[in-house]
Amino acid sequence: MKIVIVGGGFGGLKLARRLNNKPGFEVILVDRFNYHQFQPLFYQVATAGLDASNISFPLRKVFHKSKNVRIRLAELREVVPSENKIITNVEEISYDMLVLAMGADTNFFGNAQLAEEAFPMKSTVEALQLRYRLIENFEHALYMKDDVELQRLMNVVVVGGGPTGVEVSGALAEMKKYVLPKDYPELDFKRMNIYLLEGGDKTLGTMSEKSSSQSRKYLDKLGVTVMTNTLVKGFDGKQVSLQNGETIATNTVIWAAGVRGNVPEGVDKNLIVRGNRIKTDRGCLVLGYNNVYAIGDLAYMETPKYPSGHPQVAPVAMQQADMLADNFIRIERKSTKFYDFEYNDKGSMATVGRNLAVVDVPKPKLHFGGLFAWMIWMGLHLMLILGVKNRFFVFSNWLYNYFTYDQNLRLIFKEFNKTKTK
Ligand SMILES: Cc1cc2nc3c(=O)[nH]c(=O)nc-3n(C[C@H](O)[C@H](O)[C@H](O)COP(=O)(O)OP(=O)(O)OC[C@H]3O[C@@H](n4cnc5c(N)ncnc54)[C@H](O)[C@@H]3O)c2cc1C
């Protein structure tokens, strides 16, 4: 059975690993990058806490000893289900089974100006671009004579009070407190403002009430200006305009307010639902097809427990990949019984800063906050990062940062005088 998997993220990579060296399967894993990205730590790359290579893992290295998994560095352009083939930017690939695991991209809700000017954080490259902009702002601030322009450089606006927005705001607040005043002694960091704008009435709205209120308390403690019930109307690269008519002067907006599935051309448009996700059955089979599957952030599956689809998180993608691998093995063995997907939610967590995190466990219903939650958060992320070397480097970086209150990665790898970062 020739299985083509598009996307080497949490779902696609897990599936390829499950089918690795399984007799009866030929697997082609296609991705536009030649590495797997550990998205939960993008914010630490953006805020110079981790090196990009620490959270990236070369896909080819995962399959060094594989007899049946092959990698293609290519971007999917179109699916042609009637001919059982996909078209990429470099070649056409035929399949017996196709698995779409391309995840999601930033959703700017159709606002072209926002898409042009704001910083998303959906790839390692984007996290690095954001890092450069943040550091360059302070380099420019040193020369700025105009007070209004100086303030614009010192303001950072984060949009979206979910885990990503909360984590990046907290990390910026810690940079402001511990690192930046030492790097730029000429600047007055009391003037640096970090705004976190959230459309709903609380931060971490999808977590428990306790986690929401605790995250808000932690952010307040770190000096982040949290503005709830606040909707962004636009951003022209110089100021953010809000629905209520107010404006915030800044040249740096970090957009963490939504994602939309990476649906390829060729998929029946009637199957695309809210959030640009593709409708599947309980076996991840795209409705109306007999050999095209979708998993992870891109898939939309209704179940009695999740009538409006599953949360777009890594464990859903990985558990769907697991189930699909089992079903493929059953198909190969000519079995007629297949598994239906049931999400096993082991909990959710977010970190705000050193010793400050929140953890919710659904069964038994538990909530942790503070240092203990922070240690759980660190332990779990270390376990999930791919590669012993990466784990070691991330852990040693965290230790170093913890004891020195510093990160040493504030480097701008760009040609001199090329100021455009996006
Ligand atoms: C900043 C951030 C923080 C997050 N934090 C957490 C967290 O703490 N916990 C958690 O559970 N989840 C978190 N998530 C969500 C989690 O990362 C996703 O739910 C998960 O990655 C989804 O897995 P996936 O396999 O569906 O897609 P991804 O892991 O996104 O993988 C998609 C892959 O497809 C590739 N691809 C996309 N389009 C194409 C194309 N046209 N051609 C070829 N390849 C393509 C991409 O390069 C990528 O490798 C976070 C996400 C972000 C952005």
Atom of ligand 1 nearest to the CA of 74: 43
Cα 17 to averaged position of ligand 1 atoms, centre (Å) = 17
Q: Whose CA is nearest to atom 15 of ligand 1?
A: 313
**Residues 134/251, Cβ–Cβ less than 8 Å:** no
Cα 182 to ligand 1 centre (Å):
35
Question: What's the whole-model pTM score?
Answer: 0.94
CA-nearest of 349, 401, 365, 378 to 214 is 349
Strand-strand pairing, 239-242 and 277-279: unpaired
Which run of H or of E encompasses 240? strand 239-242
Q: Give me the CATH code for the 112-257 domain, please.
A: 3.50.50.100
Tell me whether domains 2-32+74-106+260-332 and 112-257 share a fold. yes
**Residue 110 neighbours by CB distance under 10 Å:** 7
| Ligand 1: centre distance to CA 100 (Å) | 12
What is d(CA 125, CA 226) in angstroms, rounded to the nearest whole number? 27
| pLDDT tens track, the chain, 422 positions | 999 999 999 999 999 999 999 999 999 999 999 999 999 999 999 999 889 999 999 999 999 999 999 999 999 999 999 999 999 999 999 999 999 999 999 999 999 999 999 999 999 999 999 999 999 999 999 999 999 999 999 999 999 999 999 999 999 999 999 999 999 999 999 999 999 999 999 999 999 999 999 999 999 999 999 999 999 999 999 999 999 999 999 999 999 999 999 999 999 999 999 999 999 999 999 999 999 999 999 999 999 999 999 999 999 999 999 999 999 999 999 998 999 999 999 999 999 999 999 999 998 899 999 999 999 999 999 998 888 888 998 998 888 888 888 877 788 887 765 555 45
* Topology of domain 2-32+74-106+260-332, CATH: FAD/NAD(P)-binding domain (3.50.50)
Q: How far is CA 334 from the centre of its chain?
A: 38
Alpha-carbon distance of 150 to 292, in angstroms, equals 53
Ligand 1 pocket, 369 CB below 6 A?
A: no
User: What pLDDT score was predicted for residue 419?
Assistant: 52
Mutate to test the pocket of ligand 1, among 33, 36, 102, 259 (most ligand atoms within 8 A of CB): 102
Can you tell me the distance from the alpha carbon of 177 to that of 175, in angstroms, rounded to the nearest whole number? 5
On the CB side of 277, CA atoms within 13 Å amount to: 24
Helix (H) or strand (E) holding 82: none
Neighbours of 232 (CB within 10 A): 22
Domain residue ranges of the chain, discontinuous segments joined by +: 2-32+74-106+260-332, 112-257
**Angle at the Cα of 368 (from 363 to 370), degrees rounded to 5?**
165
Cα–Cα distance, 143 to 194 (Å, whole number):
21
Q: How far is the C-alpha of 419 from the C-alpha of 422, rounded, in Å?
A: 9
| pLDDT for residue 417 | 59
Distance (Å, whole) CA 288 – CA 46: 41
pLDDT computed for residue 401 by the predictor? 86
